[in-house]
Chain A
């Protein structure tokens, strides 16, 4: 990447990096605008729009009434009419109140029109738990969105990726769902693990969709994961290294498109696969990755484990939430288990 010298210059939180990409795109392209609840005057509840209202004014950074159906639907229409809207759904958990707009309009209009229209829209949304907000504020729903054809799905885990993936998302001619984990944003009131805060080049740069990132090379076990759990997997890998277990950690970064080669290459190398996901176990990312490995690398596969939220809604109380959201210890245990 051309900006590697600059990359060493400054560290940003994931929130700052994501917002910087949006600001740069808005400066370059008048068609880019942002709509969402509490984005303009508040700057986004999870700091996904800090200071954008001030710079671009209420004509391009719009607070909207609480009517996800109206403003997500309006985003779809505006995108088809030539604009490049970025539309924020405050919590992914609320997708249901506007799923018709998302799935039947945003994701299907291109196909059903026989390709005569396209929807260059970015739907940003906060995901994830670990802060005691109960079952309707804590989900990731990665699998739900990745399951439905017609939209790209992006899940950054670091500031560097957050910026690059946002540039790519805004410039993309198709709908992109950009899912940012609250715990990774670097909020004062919700401390991040170490890891998401990285060096970020000042200039705009793109990270191509469909390229997973090998966070750590290893020869014994492959851990495939995304979002917050990239950092939990790295912590587990560190602990396992003390016992001489060499773990490879793969950050998918985008679910749609999926970097199948990266997954298969790693599995062929290690023969042991652990898939870690902060989403429900059944019919989700973990099943998809396991199926992929089984379909294409069965001969190389010695063992597979899935680490995900057991199929229960996410409870409020600390000991209950800790029980169901995969922790570093759960990942460690799974890695040990596939080696037995």
Chain B
């Protein structure tokens, strides 16, 4: 839901507003490119697009330092890769299943992992990744790196027991980790209201005395401010935070989802009123922060980058079939990974 105050960008400096806007547009334009390529059949498998989650992703991305970790979760992942600084080329190549993707074509859309950029990849079992995220935070604490871990999850994933075990562990060790629930109201066809009777998913932190917040996740400034505060607390030894970032899923769960479970009216309303990108764009232009021309130029520039990424992915080689046998273990067994199938 978009609150009346969205976006209260007067509270942050102009540079931050620029960054937030740019990240949001980057995510949206990238996803439009993915959608085209998926429709063309160039991207195999499933794609889950981020439409509606852009402000939430941008807010957390801008709040993080490059060395902080992002353990991605939920289903809307591309935008999280983008704000963690993975270049379009690399993400697109992985989506295409090309050798030049960060996972060499072994992972695909849902499983990009980039340890050098401190991006911890997603396991298909949603609601599991919060435990390894606690482990990442434990390592930061033990090694005194000063880095913080952000870990995202969808509303649906919070029903998993393993989400709650992660909170228990993080609270017990007072770990430098920020858990962010991107609540878009749906777990595929199952609405959040059907799932649980509590008012706010942030309340899950209360029994453990974890500082908990529920914010308008389509307001990038609100996300930026709340996550920044949580990161600072974590960095200073104040332990974990739980944030519910309320967003909207503007498209189906995955491309091809006919959404028969959703009324047309509700879907239309979502699109008209809750699109965080349009909303933020209009408000920053209205406020004179950026001119309409400058905004258009930004979009063009990003579109060029998306186009180049698509070209890069198309031009990239397929992974050699023999690479299927590599990486099962760091040290190969039975000659695996030595070209001996």
Contact = CB atoms under 8 A, between A and B. Distances in A.
Nearest to A68: B160
Given A93-B124, A134-B124, A324-B324, A316 B160 contact: no
Interface stretch (A36-44, A149-157, A194-202, A288-296): A36-44
What's the dominant secondary structure at chain B's contact region?
A: loop
Interface in A144-186: none
Contact of B45 (A93, A134, A319, A324): A134
Interface in A308-329: 310-313, 315-320, 322-324
Nearest to A190: B256
Interface stretch (B107-115, B204-212, B301-309): B107-115
Nearest to A67: B159
A63 B156 CA distance: 12
Contact of A320 (B128, B196, B321): B321
B126 interface: yes
Given A97-B125, A317-B97, A319-B319, A63 B341 contact: no
A67 B45 contact: no
B110 A134 contact: yes
Given A63-B189, A132-B97, A319 B318 contact: yes
Nearest to B43: A132
Interface in B94-152: 97-98, 103, 105-108, 110-111, 123-128
B106 A97 contact: no
Contact of B261 (A42, A94, A189): A42
What's the dominant secondary structure at chain A's contact region?
A: loop
B324 A94 contact: no
A205 interface: no
B188 interface: yes
Interface string B303-341: 000000000000000111111110010000010100001
B294 interface: no
Report, as a range, how many residues of chain B touch the other chain. 35 or more
Contact of B156 (A65, A69, A134, A313): A65
Given A41-B189, A316-B111, A323-B324, A131 B160 contact: no
A253 B161 CA distance: 35
Contact of A319 (B321, B325, B341): B321
A93 B126 CA distance: 12
B279 interface: no
A42 B10 CA distance: 43
A187 to B, nearest CB: 10
A236 B190 CA distance: 43
Contacts of A131: 44-45
Interface string A199-215: 00000000000000000
B324 A66 contact: no
Given A131-B45, A132-B44, A312-B325, A41 B106 contact: no
A132 B97 CA distance: 9
Given A63-B190, A323-B324, A317 B105 contact: yes
A316 B106 contact: yes
Contacts of A67: 159-161
A37 B261 CA distance: 13
Given A134-B106, A315-B106, A323 B321 contact: yes
Given A96-B125, A317-B105, A318-B97, A310 B260 contact: no
Which of the listed residues B159, B194, B318, B328 has the most CB atoms from chain A within 10 Å of its own CB? B159
A312 B323 CA distance: 11
Contacts of A41: 189-190, 260-261
Nearest to B122: A136
B187 interface: yes
19 contacts: A37-B187, A63-B194, A96-B125, A97-B125, A132-B44, A133-B45, A133-B46, A134-B107, A312-B328, A316-B45, A317-B97, A317-B318, A317-B319, A319-B97, A319-B319, A320-B319, A320-B321, A320-B323, A322-B321
Given A131-B44, A136-B111, A320-B323, 19 more contacts: A41-B261, A42-B189, A42-B261, A65-B196, A66-B156, A66-B159, A67-B160, A69-B160, A97-B125, A132-B45, A134-B108, A135-B106, A312-B336, A315-B106, A316-B108, A317-B319, A319-B321, A320-B106, A323-B321
Interface of B: 44-46, 97-98, 103, 105-108, 110-111, 123-128, 156-157, 159-162, 187-190, 194-196, 256, 260-261, 318-325, 328, 334, 336, 341
Interface of A: 37-38, 41-42, 45, 63-70, 91, 93-94, 96-97, 131-137, 189, 310-313, 315-320, 322-324
| The 8 nearest A-B residue pairs measured at CB | A317-B97, A317-B105, A136-B124, A316-B108, A65-B159, A132-B44, A41-B261, A132-B45
